[in-house]
Structures are given as C-alpha cells and as structure tokens.
A = this chain, B = another copy of it.
C-alpha cells in the first residue's frame, strides 16, 4: 500500500547508525509493541499501526506526527474533530485548496497567523 514501512525503516536505520538504542527491539520496547510486529510494519507485511502507536513511534524517532499518520493512511484525531465541528465550511475550503501550490496555502497560513482577519 503506502510506503510507511520503508520510510520507518530508513529513518530508524539512519538513527541507528549513530545510536545503538534504535534497534527494532529497543524501539519496540519503548513504544510498547512486540518487536515482531514492528518488524512486519517496517517491511509492509502488516497494515499501519493505530494512531496511538504511530504517535509514540513519531516521538521516538523524532518525526512529524501528522506526516507519519498520513503515511499510515490516517488523520490526526484532533484535526478530524475540528473539521467535524464545521464540516461544510471546512469541506469547501479544503476542496478549494486541493490544487493550490504549497506556497499559496502557506501564504494563507501566514495571513491567518498574523491576524489579518
């Protein structure tokens, strides 16, 4: 399906080059899953883990949570909740932004943040 697995493997192996604490077994122990499970996830033999597990993994590997969740086919539950509170409004906005280039969306983000509204 997605390449969450290979992404995780690459990232972990990169970390492991400098720090032996990033073996499958030790990472698995820290994020509280079985090493066999993590191994399968990294090789794409298992479906992506739950949001909870992906969050712990992101934290342990120093990765962005939203990106890792996306690779796992999920959306952060706090984002989902925000959208669900005003579904029509956000649906319209997001569909409009679908084909906008990153820099255009970023400009909106900045404008919003600067409080020009």
Binding site for B on A (CB under 8 A): 64, 66-67, 69-70, 73, 75-76, 78-80, 82-98, 100, 102, 104-109, 112-113, 117
Number of identical monomers bound together in the oligomeric complex: 2
Secondary structure call for the A interface: helix
Bound CA–CA A83/B79 (angstroms) = 10
A79–B88 CA distance with the chains assembled, in angstroms: 11
**Do B80 and A75 touch across chains, with their CB atoms under 8 A apart?**
yes
Taken together as a complex, chains A and B put the C-alpha atoms of A89 and B64 apart, in Å, by 12
Whether B112 pairs with A87 at a CB distance below 8 angstroms is no
Given contacts A87-B70, A88-B67, contact A82 B96 (CB under 8 A): no
- Shortest A47–chain B CB gap in Å is 15
